[in-house]
Amino acid sequence: MTKYGGYMGKVLIIDVKNRTTSLYPWSDGEREDYLGGKIMAAKIIKDNVGSNVQAFDEENILVISTGPLTGTNAPASSRFNISTISPLTGLLTSSNCGGNFGIHLKRAGYDALIIKNKSESPIWIEITEDEVLFHDAKDLWGKMVGQTQEALDPKAGKVVIGPAGENLIKYASIFSGERTAGRGGIGAVMGDKNIKAITAKGNLKPKINNVEGTKEFYRKWIELLKNHPLTGEQLPTFGTAGLISLMQHRNVLTTKNFKYGNYHDFDKISGERLRKDFLVRNRGCITCPIQCGRQVEVDGRIVKGPELETLALLGSNLLNNDLQLILRWNLELDELGMDTISTGGTIAFAMELNEKGLWENGLEFGKTGNLSDIFKDIAYRRGIGNELAEGTRYLSNKYGGAEFAMHSKGMELSAYEPRSAVGQGLGYAVSNRGGCHLNAGYLVLFEGLGLSIDPYTTKSKAELTVLTQNLMEAISSAGNCLFTLYSMLPKYLVKNPNSRITRLTNRFLTTSLSANIIKFVNKADKRLLPIKYSPIPQIKAIELVTGMKMSLGKLLDIGDRGYNLERIYNVERGIRSKDDSLPDRLTKVKQKEDETNSYVPLDELKERYYRLRGWDQDGIPTQSKLEKLKLIE
């Protein structure tokens, strides 16, 4: 099994075609090198799915994986990961979820599932610690997400799809409770395999290496999160929606298909307005002390409220200021089983195509009366919905408009307009899964949403992007919410943005000396960085839970290994430097006429980034880099 705490020690293979199960070998050496979660899944996919396999081929697999902190009562540790080949990008994709399935999967005795082949008819799968059962899903097929979950065991963890997944919408999502594994079209892969739902249930628990030490450390960790201005004040008070006003102020709020970075009616869709007029109560993921989720009322039902991405992509990006309507749309899209980010991005692009006379589709900015019907048309592939269901890149290839098609590698960009946060723009372009703000490294946190380093300079941006990407890869693979990383920003700097110390710190972060320090941290391995950096509590938590020796250097090694593992697999699938791209609107058109640097200087940023990553000029990891990371012999 395993000598380490935090793990159940088993990975389950489910062959849905032949209705059989078996165990996948996963060693303690692999646990040390890959931790779990998305990095574990990337390793499994690279070892088992050929580079020519496409998303809807029977040979594609779906990997659902947890991390060592999942199910241990660590703060914000209910996270689990789902990885596969994306129908939207054609690349390896991963999507993270805060629902309860990961915890229950561990209680059933497994760290991960590998779903292989295709069922000949619709099924749902029941997993317990004693058996795996295959049930006919004909009575569930066609049901909405909520109806499906209500029909299943209320005491079990669940992952389900809606009609969008059944109809192979390229940005269909998978749902667990109110939480979503939203990006990359993983719900369509589940639907293609004719799986409507999977449940897990059991009474097992992962062992903890140091029980008393873990309890005491978790108490201190929770205190740290509750006393931080971001995780203890901003997120509990306003949720992620609280960033709308700050994004407006920093010119990073996507507006009218990323034509602008601010919206004159931003206050009507802001977190402040959501809290004042619509909030019923806070709610969060299991074991989360932050409680950033919003509960609102729609048609007499208390339901999950929209996150920042939904507010922006279905609000300012469409020139829509009706918050009540966004609440309804958020519910409708969740019930249909669709990613709100890609839905909003695709519709905004279609609106601009219509505006420019490239595709007469009846969609117009600021006109929202027909969009509920359009969402259904997409989910059921009716009329123009059949083409909208394919995403922005497909529409651009068919109708033109590549210069304002807001995607990277086929995935629609999230809500942060990067011309006033050029490090975020670099991250979008080099992100392994496409236009994702998190896989990008979320440098906008440093460029205005947490700290305020110069958003237009290129200095230190490549260095910081590598650092944050590696750190976020490792934290995600441990089973922890990425919001917990906000605590690494010193409280004083966040609470006192205009103080002399804060201003000096912001300036220092874009100096040559700072860049060289960050460069050293990025290149140093566990032997050179043996420290347990206290603002990153996961270092000590992983050590206490598992019994592994952990340090900042080792954690960054794991993240670097994971990021490069995904990259080399995508290189095998054809990715090169030319694909690390952004549309011309972001790289050639200034956002503000009076700010000469208000565009993303992508070529310059990429050149520096590749050197730091140990990649060649075409974006391919070098042999020496892969040898250092133990990815090749």
pLDDT of residue 535: 79
Q: Which fold has domain 252-412?
A: 1.10.569
DSSP state for residue 80 in the 8-state scheme? E
Q: Which CATH class is domain 421-628?
A: mainly alpha
Q: What span, in angstroms and rounded, lies between the C-alpha atoms of 617 and 610?
A: 7
Q: Is the dihedral of CA 56, 57, 58, 63 positive or negative?
A: negative
pLDDT of residue 451: 94
Pick the CATH number of 11-201 from 3.60.9.10, 3.40.720.10, 3.40.50.300, 2.130.10.10: 3.60.9.10
Q: pLDDT by residue (tens digit) across 397-420?
A: 999 999 999 999 999 999 999 999
Q: pLDDT by residue (tens digit) across 334-355?
A: 999 999 999 999 999 999 999 9
Q: What span, in angstroms and rounded, lies between the C-alpha atoms of 43 and 63?
A: 10
Q: What is the pTM of this model?
A: 0.96
Residue identified by tokens 């566990």 is 526
Q: What span, in angstroms and rounded, lies between the C-alpha atoms of 505 and 453?
A: 8
490 Cβ contact list (under 8 Å, min separation 6): 535
Partners of 172 in the β-ladder: 338
* Spans of all domains in the chain: 11-201, 252-412, 421-628
Residues of the chain with pLDDT under 70: 525-534
Residue identified by tokens 């997944």 is 165
pLDDT of residue 131: 97
The answer to whether domain 11-201 and domain 252-412 are alike in fold is no
Name the residue among 459, 443, 454 with its Cα closest to residue 519.
459
